[in-house]
């Protein structure tokens, strides 16, 4: 399809990350890579669920080596993480944004585990105040990553030009050393533990007897090297 600003966009597949891998097909991505200098693709359902599956499943199976990750953040979402009710999101609450930043911080940490640089795109809403935005910018600066306020919904490509230039610069710098979270040879149960501990910060995973039996059956059937 063609966007409003006449750039090509490939829409092919896209199962939800809560029931599948949460990203489009390898066919779409590989086609885009043959047609463009830079390809932007979405991994839905957040940097914990969608991005982890994109890296550990799609990139692994397709031999893809991403150069940059863009984490989309919103003042409204951070306020909700900070305890604000949905009906109060339009009211300025800098303290709630600051409290909710632990969520953004965790997403940044998760993305850096895969060996690629990250940048934050702040998806701007008209109810956002400068004080709330500044708190996010300060946090990202403290984390050592750049953040950009994005107004693409109002100004089209011009509203994300600074973000785009930064993404291109990071990609061209060649600083990415992409690596999946776990190796193919790791036992399935340990792969599950690795994702739970490293991405979701679980202390451990308790497997039922039925689950352990099924995992053993999968490995005996030759599926021990597949991603989870």
Tens-digit pLDDT profile for residues 150-163: 999 999 999 999 99
Residues 143 and 198 placed together within one structural domain of the fold:
no
Same domain for 53 and 31, yes or no, is yes
3-state secondary structure of 95: helix
Indicate whether 228 belongs to any domain.
no
pLDDT over 80 at 123, yes or no: yes
Task: Read off the pLDDT of each residue in 157-184 and give the average, rounded to a whole number.
Answer: 96
Is pLDDT of 18 > 80? Answer: no
Confidence of residue 19 (pLDDT cuts 50, 70, 90): confident
Q: What are phi and psi of 122, to 5 degrees?
A: -90, 110
Domain that holds residue 147: 67-181
Domain endpoint, select from 166, 181, 196 = 181
State how far the Cα of 221 lies from the Cα of 201, in Å rounded to an integer: 30
* Entry pTM: 0.92
**Alpha-carbon distances of 223 from 18, 220, 226, rounded to whole Å:** 22, 7, 6
70 φ/ψ angles, rounded to the nearest 5 degrees: -110, 120
110 touches 51 (CB < 8 A): yes
Is 58 in the same domain as 79? no
Residue ending a domain, among 41, 64, 87, is 64
Please measure the distance between the N-terminal and C-terminal CA atoms of the chain and give it in whole angstroms: 32
What is the total count of domains within the chain?
3
């Amino acid at each position: 399809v063609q966007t409003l600003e006449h750039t090509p966009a490939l829409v092919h597949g896209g199962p939800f990350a809560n029931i599948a891998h949460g990203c489009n097909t390898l066919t779409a991505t590989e086609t885009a890579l043959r047609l463009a200098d830079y390809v932007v693709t979405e991994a839905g359902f957040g940097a914990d669920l969608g991005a982890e599956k994109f890296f550990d499943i799609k990139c692994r199976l397709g031999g893809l080596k991403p150069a940059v990750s863009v984490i989309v953040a919103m003042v409204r979402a951070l306020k909700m993480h900070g305890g604000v009710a949905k009906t109060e999101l339009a009211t300025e609450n800098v303290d709630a944004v600051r409290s909710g930043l632990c969520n953004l911080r965790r997403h940044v940490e998760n993305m850096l585990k895969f060996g690629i640089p990250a940048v934050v795109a702040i998806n701007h809403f008209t109810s956002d105040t400068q004080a709330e935005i500044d708190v996010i910018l300060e946090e990202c600066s403290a984390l050592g990553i750049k953040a950009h306020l994005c107004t693409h919904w109002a100004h089209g490509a011009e509203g994300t030009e600074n973000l785009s230039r930064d993404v291109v610069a990071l990609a061209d710098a060649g600083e990415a050393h992409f690596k999946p979270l776990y190796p193919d040879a790791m036992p399935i149960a340990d792969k599950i533990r690795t994702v739970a501990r490293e991405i979701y910060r679980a202390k451990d995973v308790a497997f039922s007897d039925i689950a352990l039996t099924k995992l053993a059956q999968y490995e005996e059937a030759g599926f021990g090297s597949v991603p989870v």
